[in-house]
Amino acid sequence: MKKRIAIFGSTGSIGTQALEVIAANPDKFEVEILTAHANSQLLVDQAKKFNPNAVVIVKEEKYPEVKEALAATDVKVFSGEKALGEVAAFDTYDMMLAAIVGFAGLKPTLQAIQSGKAVALANKETLVVAGDIVMQKAVEKRVPIIPVDSEHSAVFQCLIGETRNKIEKIVLTASGGPFLGKKPNFLVNVKKEHALQHPNWNMGAKVSVDSATLMNKGLEMIEARWLFNLQPDQIQVVVHPQSIIHSMVQFEDGSIKAQMGLPDMKLPIQYAFAFPQRISNALPRYDFTRSPALHFEQPDIKTFRNLALATEALYKGGNTPCVLNAANEIAVYGFLRNRIGFLDMMEIVERTMEKIAFIENPSLEEYFESDAEARNFAASLIQI
């Protein structure tokens, strides 16, 4: 039987690549649900091609346009943020691809878990914000959460067959982004078009900027803590500019397992969809005989302070990662709209972390309150 996939965030970078994977494997997967925030035209095009059971356009003013465009089809059309949770509760799909960018992905992902659905997790912020609650709910519901981020997919793959073997540490690799080796006197003049030019990966604007500031790697550290039940001191980041080794696991005997491959997000997406099987594809292969040497170095946390701030949030815990994420989302929003400079993003995150009151064991409601408070404060610094 075909696996029925619900893609939450179908018009973004991960969502569009996921649809390519499905199109390449029509005998194995089919699209059941598609959701988009505001890109109504692409959502309509996707719906006409893949004929899902339902689509959601979050921006309600776009609803008439989508409804009319799909009137001749059997596709059900919904709109608004509330509809994301309602559609996530449908019993008509087998796996959710959680690819909505940022904090907005938390509620529908929790609803999918509550409904007993497997989750292919591409939204790292879900675990950054409320990892303790999300993973506990997944355990209670016996729901598998299969990571799609290339680094976490790599760790996940390295751990297959190692259930009884103790992890000493995991090593998350970072490309270093487009500004590897640059110092503050260069970064002060960086514009958004420079930050969006990632050397190795095809990603959306938010993730590309996060990669340029190394915040993306900091968020991945926090996500890994919850995904793999680790202590903060078991998580290390190294810069690996070639992005061939996607991450590594070191076991208590000193042995290290690494997952390698050319940088292409379609591979971890396909792995999550087909798990526990591996299926063939026509993606390019890495050739050891024709490739340059692989290099590794320490990240420059003095220049790229977001990684240091995320590490601080990882160790402190409580609502601090939630605050970090909220402030960063607002800062990136400001940077992409030319309201603030590249280095200002790190300043905004740090000031917000200092301002918002610490809660050691937040409830889900307190996470939402912390998120809102942090966003309001960060926005006040930018005057959005």
What is the 3-state composition of the chain as percent helix, strand, coil, each rounded to the nearest 5? 50, 15, 35
pLDDT number for residue 101: 86
pLDDT of residue 86: 97
On whether residue 168 sits in a domain, the answer given is: no
pTM: 0.94
pLDDT digits over 296-344, tens only?
999 999 999 999 999 999 999 999 999 999 999 999 999 999 999 999 9
Instruction: Please tell me the total count of domains within the chain.
Output: 2
Residues in the chain with pLDDT < 50? none
160, part of any domain: no
- Give pLDDT, residue 292: 77
Q: Per the domain annotation, does 47 fall within a domain? A: yes
> Per the domain annotation, does 72 fall within a domain?
yes
Of the three residues 96, 127, 147, the one that is the final residue of a domain is 147
Domain assignment present for residue 228? The answer is: no
Domain span including residue 344 = 317-384
CA–CA separation, 238 and 176 (whole Å): 9
pLDDT at 122: 96
Q: What is the CATH number of the domain that holds 121?
A: 3.40.50.720
Using the 3D structure, point to which of 120, 147, 174 is the last residue of a domain. Answer: 147
- Within a domain: residue 73? yes
Query: Does some domain include residue 343?
Result: yes
- Domain end marker among 119, 147, 175: 147
Say if strands 95-98 and 118-121 run parallel, antiparallel, or are unpaired: parallel
CA gap 23, 40 in Å, rounded:
21
Q: CA dihedral defined by 167, 169, 175, 180, rounded to 10 degrees?
A: 180
**pLDDT score recorded for residue 384:** 58
List Cβ neighbours of 171 (8 Å cut-off, separation of 6 or more): 236, 237, 238, 247, 248, 249, 250, 256
Domain of 352, CATH number, reads: 1.10.1740.10
What is the reported pLDDT for 301? 96
Any domain includes 77: yes
